[in-house]
Structures are given as C-alpha cells and as structure tokens.
Chains A and B, each alone.
Chain A
Amino acid sequence: MPVVQIRERAVHVDDEGFLSRPEEWDEDLAKALAEQIGITLTDRHWEVLRFLRADYAERGQTPTTRRVDVVGGVPVKEQFALFPRKPGRKMAYVAGLPKPHGCV
C-alpha cells in the first residue's frame, strides 16, 4: 500500500488515493482531503461526512448515494451540489473510506 504525506501526516492510500486505513482519518485530515479536490467544508458537508463515518463503522461498507439519501436524509441532488460531479466517490474520499463498491 502506498503511503503519502498529507499536511505532514503519513497516511496509507490505495492506487486511486482513497484512504486504505479508515482509522487514520480525523477531521483535520478531512479538511485537507476536501481542499485537494476543491471543496470547502460547510456544516452540511460535515453532517454528510459524519453519517458516512458512522454508517461505515456499523456496516463495514461505504454507503451509496441512495443510502445517504434514504438513511442519511441528504437528497441525491444536494449531494451533487455539495460534492459536484461524482458525489459517491468524493464523499468516500473526504470521509477517508474505501471507494464505494462498484455494485456489479
């Protein structure tokens, strides 16, 4: 697993840059990760990220955009506004979770 430096911190990531050890994540790191993809975190972003973290801790799988909508209460359209173009991937990236499973 590659190790990269993000703001003087060494973290483990996969081939595509997603954190491969979710326990290395904290809120400071989230800010840095968000910045890297051009997002400034607002309260609403934090609500989404906390839902993702809690849901992952419970189920061991990165929630899908539908799950963030139905269970987390943030409509898909709003997810697109918060994390433009590819919300599923971007939310997982900033929350320090594995890339959402492709659901083949």
Chain B
Amino acid sequence: MKHLLILGGGTAGTMVANRLLHRLRVERDFWRLTVVDRDDRHLYQPGLLTVPFGAATPDQLVRSRRRYLEPGVELVLGEVEGVDPARGRVHLEDGRVLPYDYLVVASGTSPRPDQTPGMAGDQWRRRVHEFYTPDGAVALHRRLERWLGGRVVVHVTEMPIKCPVAPLEFTFLLDDALRRGGLRAGTELTYVTPLDGAFTQPVARERLGGMLDARGVRVRTDFVVDRVDDGRLVSVDDREVPFDLLVTVPVNLGADFVARSGMGDELQDVPVDPGTLMSRAHPGVFAVGDATDVPTSKAGSVAHFEADVFADNLVSYDRGRPMTRLYDGHANCFVESGRGRALLLDFGYDAEPLPGRYPLPVVGPLSLLAETRANHWAKAATQRLYWNVLLHGRPVPIPSRAPRREPAATRAAA
C-alpha cells in the first residue's frame, strides 16, 4: 500500500486529496491518503477582503477541514516541524514521526510583517494594518469605522503575494465605501507598489491603472520599501510616502518548516518543475498551491487547475510512466471594483489577460477585463461554489487549460 502525505489542509491540500481519492477509486487502487494541518479551521481566504468593510466576520468564513475531506482521507492535527526527504519522513512538533512514500507540500504562504524593519513595531494594528489574516481584517474594520479623513496608503511590500489583485480590490472597495460615507473628499488615497505599474501583465496593467486614475488614487511605482518609520514609508532609494493609515500587504513567505528542511528558495517556496510540480531536488516530493515557486498567480483557482493535472501525473509517476499532463500556469481572478461591479482576468504562463468572454457554465459567459455586475455576482457566488463544489475535487466543467492567444504582433495588427 502506498502512503501519500499532504502537508497543509487548505485550498490546495484539500482539493488534491479529494481529487486523488476519486481518481484512485476509479482505478480500484488502494492508497493511504493523509492530510496534516495545525488545526481544524479551514478559512475561505477571499472572504477576508470583505471583513474590513463589515460585510462578513471571520467566523462566517471558517468551516471544519475534516468535513471537506472525503471519507477515506485521514486528517492528522499537528504542527509540522520538518521534513527529512532523504528518509521519507515528516516530523511534527509534538514528536510524532510520519513516514511517507510520496509527499505533497501544500502549506501555502503567509504575510510576514516581521521581515520589514519598523512594520510590526508599536504602530502595528494601530496605524499600520493588513487584511490577509482574520485578526488583521477585524482590526482594520475597527479602524475604518473610526476613520474621519486623512492620508491612506495601500501598499504592497514585495511580489509575489497571494492573490496579487487583492490590494487593488481593497483600494477600489475603500474608495467606494468612503464615497458612500461622505469621507472621500477628505481622504487622500495613494497606492504604493514595487512594480512599475498597477499589475504585472501589460494589458491588465493599463486597464487597472486607468481604474485607479479614474478614482483619483495616486500611484507610486517602483517603490521598494526599506523601513516603516513613524507615519511614513521609506524606500531603499530614500523616497518617502507619509500616511495616517497604512494598509500593507507584508512580504509573503512559505512555511518556516520548508526553509528548516532545506527545501525552500529565498521566499521559502519549494522550487518545482512548472509543468509536473515535482520538486527539482527531491523526486517523489511535490508542491501545489501557494507553496510552489511556479511563475503564475498564487490563487485558489491555480490550486484547482493544478489539482486537475496532479492526480493523473502522480498515478503515472507511481507506475513508472512519464508525467504527461503538464500544468500551463492557468489562473483566473475576479477583481472587485466597487459599486457592485467586478472584472475577470484569465491567463497562464504564456498568455496574458486579455479582453473577451469566459465560458462559465450555468451563470453564462462572463466578460473578461470589463467591469460588469454579472462578474460581481459571480464572484459573490464563488464562496458557495467553493464549499459545495470546488473543494470536493470533482471535475468542474470549466476549461482547465490557459487561453491560447495570438502573438502580440498579430493582435496589434488586427
């Protein structure tokens, strides 16, 4: 009997476990599937974006992990201390040792304000806030309820971060909320990014940058933060941005045990082959979801598309056959833009987001890169879809391949 151990029971770990279980059942293969997580609280992270605006509380976004793992998948609760890939073992903090034949690292990535001097100091959760954790989102909600005007700076510390559009969405939603509360005129909104535009991919960058302009948001680009001083961000090349309220997305780092086990890169992500998701250093060890170094978005949709190819590939690998279903970087993200509208981006390693239509079943085709109400409702519906359909790892009738686009030259000519 083969034993597959999955470290992390969040979006990717749950989808991979369930997907593989279905796949193995079809093949009548009997494997042992175990998921390890530190607790039994599965958080729907995209919902955190609505918490600062009072539209949800964290309790409404949390459910039991066990409930979403298909019967047949074992859940072990414990803090992972380290992996010993040479011996095929995982060590938990409480001393338990879990042996494995195959390992999947699905431990995600987390905000680390401790990595930037001055960020997690005495102003943390007073004047310096974040919304990537439940506590942070709640503290920010309290702060916004008392907001009367002044300088708000929305800031991305360093790329990559999970859900790269979340800080933009936050800015659009904040602009909207301030307008409705009559506080927009007295608030100066600035968006500070280490990138050279609002987003990385050119077509989306223009569209999203234009949306910031239209809302009167100032944009400071190429800003690599050196430290957070009392009330100002200071860049490594000595530029300064003052604030009364800083809403930052701290550096995102993979789990510390990845680094301790010598399996991580400079961001504690696991370097993998971008097609097969197998570790470059340790055959039989894979990574999925936010824990990898693949050059696409860190997003739940990516975990979903990866789970699609992963199950097939693992079965092939186990049988000594080549892994032929290669992941192509496919990602899609909804971008809430305020006023009850949203945009949809759809892209892959070699396909940048472009306008067009996206063939979502039931809800109907959605417009890509355009602000529509249908997109907003589709985004609002994804939480139900997430709990009821996506996590179960059954095939969903949405394209799992990234869009194929004509080369830039032909496009420009058209």
Question: Residues of A at under 8 Å CB distance from B?
Answer: 15, 59, 61, 64-67, 69-71, 76-77, 80, 84-86, 101-104
Residue contact A104 to B236, C-beta cutoff 8 Å: no
**Is A80 within 8 A of B271, CB to CB?**
no
Asked if B201 lies at the interface with its beta carbon under 8 angstroms from chain A, I say yes
Q: How far is the CA of A85 from the CA of B221 in the complex (A)?
A: 10
Does residue B331 face the partner (Cβ distance < 8 Å to A)? yes
CB atoms of B200 and A103 under 8 A apart: yes
CB closest residue in chain A, given B280: A59
Q: Is there a chain A Cβ closer than 8 Å to B267's Cβ?
A: yes
Task: Tell me whether A102 and B224 are in contact (CB under 8 A).
Answer: no
Of all chain B residues, the one with the shortest Cβ separation from A67 is B266
The 8 Å CB contact of A104, one of B226, B265, B331, B408, is: B331
Is B222 close to A, CB under 8 A? Answer: yes
Query: With A and B bound together, what is the CA distance between A12 and B224 in angstroms?
Result: 31
Which of A66, A84, A85, A102 contacts B158, CB < 8 Å? A66
Given contacts A71-B266, A102-B200, contact A80 B236 (CB under 8 A): yes
B315 within 8 A of A: no
Query: If the complex has contacts A71-B266, A77-B226, are A102 and B236 also in contact, measured as CB distance less than 8 A?
Result: no
Q: Point out the residues of chain A lying under 8 angstroms from B347, CB to CB.
A: 104
Q: Which residues of B are in contact with A by a Cβ distance under 8 Å?
A: 158-160, 164, 195-196, 199-201, 222, 224, 226, 236-237, 265-267, 271, 295-297, 331, 347, 408
Report chain A residues within 8 Å CB of B237. 80, 84-85
Q: List 11 A-B contacts (CB under 8 A).
A: A61-B295, A67-B265, A69-B266, A77-B226, A77-B236, A86-B196, A102-B195, A103-B160, A103-B200, A103-B295, A104-B297
Q: How far is the CB of A34 from chain B (nearest CB, A)?
A: 19
Q: How many A-B residue pairs have CB under 8 A?
A: 45
> What residues of chain B lie closer than 8 Å to A85, measured between beta carbons?
222, 237
How near does chain A come to B198, taking the closest CB pair, in angstroms? Answer: 12
Q: Is the CB of B224 within 8 A of A80?
A: yes
Q: Which of A66, A67, A102 has the most CB of B within 10 A?
A: A102
- How far, in Å, is A70 (CB) from chain B's closest CB? 4
B236 touches A59 (CB 8 A): no
- What chain B residues lie within 8 Å of A61 (beta carbons)? 295
Q: Which 9 A-B pairs have the closest CB atoms?
A: A102-B200, A103-B160, A70-B266, A103-B159, A101-B295, A77-B236, A67-B266, A104-B297, A104-B200
Q: Bound state CA distance, A15 and B352, in angstroms?
A: 15
Q: Which one of B160, B222, B236, B296 contacts A76 once the chains associate, using CB atoms below 8 Å?
A: B236
Please, how many angstroms separate the alpha-carbon atoms of A84 and B237 in the complex?
8
| Contact, CB under 8 Å: A15 / B408 | yes
Judge whether B222 and A66 touch: CB under 8 Å.
no
Q: Knowing that A15-B408, A104-B199 are A-B contacts, what are 20 other residue pairs whose CB atoms are under 8 Å apart, sorted by A's residue number?
A: A61-B295, A66-B267, A67-B265, A67-B266, A69-B266, A76-B236, A77-B236, A80-B224, A86-B222, A101-B295, A102-B159, A102-B195, A102-B201, A103-B159, A103-B164, A103-B200, A104-B160, A104-B201, A104-B295, A104-B296
Instruction: Kindly provide the distance from the CB of B272 to the nearest chain A CB, expressed in whole angstroms.
Output: 12
Once the chains are docked, how many angstroms separate the CA of A71 from the CA of B271?
Answer: 14
Residue of A59, A61, A80, A104 most packed against chain B (CB within 10 A): A104
Q: Which residue of A lies closest to B295 (CB)?
A: A101
